[in-house]
């Protein structure tokens, strides 16, 4: 079984050690039915800690890649995040388009996903947030469509993964680190059953029909994630 690069594993171990007092994980046995790689992990995005914690849990088991909005920023626009990405190795991350705001959120562009599909074909595991970043500590009423689109065009399983951290909501990464280094909350990861939603044809343009199909698939995914939180 493959594992992620040593730099990304060391970095996420350090981040988690600094940020959380304890980390519990349940559902690892469910990963067996997804195989040794080539699947999508759809994570919660309630805080900016969710992805590093998920990477810490899975990085020793799989060769991970992740979708990340920050790759579109200049280094000075988001210094803390871009510094961490450089340490972890930017080749491990795939850029997705985003819209400015507080918090920023991804926008669906089908052109972002073929390189991720190629990574899945090569046996990598791609992590992508199942929904937009949250400003409050709860799941949104509707999810995003990136994870289900990627799983569809690659025709691979999706593994839902929920990270629960005792915190008062999503913050910019710097604030999250500063607060949790003093607070050191408990974190819990729950891994759901892998499932498939069926293949999709890769799209060059987003049609109303594709939008409707992706929203339906997203509701299925979010329903599974809600069962884990």
Chain segment 152-168, per-residue pLDDT in tens: 999 999 999 999 887 55
Domain membership flag for residue 129: yes
Percent of the chain at pLDDT > 70 equals 79
Look at residue 197 and tell me whether its pLDDT is greater than 90.
yes
Give residue 78's pLDDT.
Answer: 62
CA distance 44 to 21: 20
Q: Which domain holds residue 173?
A: 6-226
Work out the mean pLDDT of the chain and round it to a whole number.
84
Is residue 165 assigned to a domain? yes
- pLDDT on residue 174: 42
Two tokens at 18?
Answer: 């600094």
Q: Quick one: pLDDT band at residue 135, thresholds 50, 70, 90?
A: low
Return the exposure string of 109-146: e unless at least 16 CB atoms fall within 10 Å of the residue's CB, then b.
ebebbeebbebbeeebbbbbbbbbbbeeeebeeebbbb
Give residue-wise pLDDT tens across range 15-63. Answer: 888 888 899 999 999 999 999 999 999 999 888 788 889 999 999 999 9
What is the model's pLDDT at position 11? 82
Q: What's the total number of domains in the chain?
A: 1
- Tokens 């065009």 label which residue? 153
Q: Please indicate, yes or no, if residue 12 is contained in any of the structural domains.
A: yes
CA distance 102 to 42: 22
Residue 46 in domain: yes
Q: Could you tell me the two tokens for 155? A: 């025709």
> Poorest-confidence range of 66-70, 123-127, 221-225?
66-70
Contact (CB, 8 A) for 166 and 3:
no
Amino acid 136: pLDDT: 67
Model confidence at 106: pLDDT above 80: no
Q: Is residue 214 part of a domain?
A: yes
What is the four-CA torsion angle of 169, 175, 177, 180, rounded to 10 degrees?
-50
Residue 222, CA atoms < 13 Å, CB-side half-sphere: 19
CATH code, domain carrying 171:
3.40.1130
Q: What is the three-class DSSP state of 84?
A: helix
For the residues of 198-229, what is the DSSP string, one character each? ------SS--HHHHHHHHHHHHHHHHHHHTT-
> What dihedral angle (degrees, nearest 10) is formed by the CA atoms of 222, 188, 43, 28?
-100
20-29, 59-68, 164-173, 180-189: segment of lowest average pLDDT: 164-173
pTM of the model: 0.86
User: Residue 128 has what pLDDT?
Assistant: 96
Whether 137 is in a domain gets the answer: yes
Q: Does 176 score more than 70 pLDDT?
A: no
pLDDT value for 9: 84
Residue 171's pLDDT is what?
A: 45
Identify whether 109 is part of a domain. Answer: yes
172 pLDDT more than 50: no
Within a domain: residue 1?
no
């Amino acid at each position: 079984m493959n594992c992620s690069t040593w730099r990304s594993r060391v970095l996420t171990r350090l981040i988690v050690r600094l940020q959380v007092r304890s980390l519990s994980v349940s559902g690892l046995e469910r990963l067996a039915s997804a195989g040794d790689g080539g699947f999508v992990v759809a994570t919660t995005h309630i805080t900016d800690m969710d992805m590093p914690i998920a990477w810490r849990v899975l990085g020793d088991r799989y060769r991970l890649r992740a979708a990340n909005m920050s790759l579109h920023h200049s280094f000075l626009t988001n210094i803390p995040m871009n510094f961490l990405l450089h340490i972890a190795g930017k080749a491990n991350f795939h850029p997705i388009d985003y819209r400015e705001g507080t918090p920023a959120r991804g926008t669906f562009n089908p052109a972002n996903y073929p390189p991720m599909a190629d990574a899945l074909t090569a046996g990598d595991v791609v992590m992508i947030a199942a929904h937009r970043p949250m400003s409050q500590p709860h799941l949104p009423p509707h999810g995003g469509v990136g994870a289900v689109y990627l799983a569809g065009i690659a025709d691979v399983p999706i593994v839902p993964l929920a990270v629960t951290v005792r915190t008062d909501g999503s913050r910019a990464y710097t604030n999250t680190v500063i607060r949790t280094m003093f607070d050191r909350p408990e974190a819990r990861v729950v891994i759901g059953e892998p499932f498939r939603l069926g293949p999709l044809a890769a799209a060059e343009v987003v049609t109303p029909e594709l939008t409707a199909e992706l929203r339906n698939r997203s509701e299925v995914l979010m329903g599974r994630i809600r069962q884990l939180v």
